Amino acid sequence: MEIAFFIVVYRWSGPTEEQRQHVVANWKRIIEIAVDVGIPAINSGFSGDPNQQEICNGMFCKSMEELLPIIERESLRIELKSHPYDFVELNDEVCDIVKSFRAKNLGYVCSASHGFFYDQGNRDVRHMLKCAGNDLPHVLLADT
């Protein structure tokens, strides 16, 4: 048996620069730990504040600019999921953000237990998975 991934929730999307810098330092350390113990992927959310989407999106992009070279150098994969009350909550928006980086080491993870939230209650899982396409290495299941 192997561990498929770590799940970490760090507020790398701000909303303050001081907070973002602290969290990026934490990300660098969890990346080191993952590499040291042979974990191939880290799952995380977007965090941030849904009431400050533009600021948080900018903070997230800034964090990714700093972290993606390290992630790629270490051949690690980061898999992102939306979570209720993150700055981005909807499936299609998350898929668009992930795809916008065009990074082979960045993907999307679908959490079935939050599926009701990802598409404003439509529960169209087929659409969610199709939208993610090749950027979907994992689906998280729960007995909800």
Tokens of 33: 């730990």
| The model's pTM | 0.85
Average pLDDT over residues 118-128: 71
Tokens of 104: 């082979």
CA dihedral 31, 142, 136, 124 (to 10 degrees): -150
**Which domains, from first to last, does the chain contain?**
6-140 (3.20.20.150)
Q: What is the helix (H) or strand (E) element at residue 77, kind and residue range?
A: strand 77-80
Beta bridge partners, 79, equal 43, 107
Alpha helices in the chain (DSSP H): 17-37, 53-73, 91-101, 115-118, 125-132
Average pLDDT over residues 20-45: 95
* Distances in whole angstroms, Cα of residue 6 to Cα of each of 44, 78, 100, 111, 117: 8, 10, 24, 14, 23
pLDDT at 108: 86
pLDDT in tens, 53-93: 999 999 999 999 999 999 999 999 999 988 888 899 888 88
Beta bridge partners, 112, equal none
| Neighbour count for residue 109 (Cβ, 10 Å) | 25
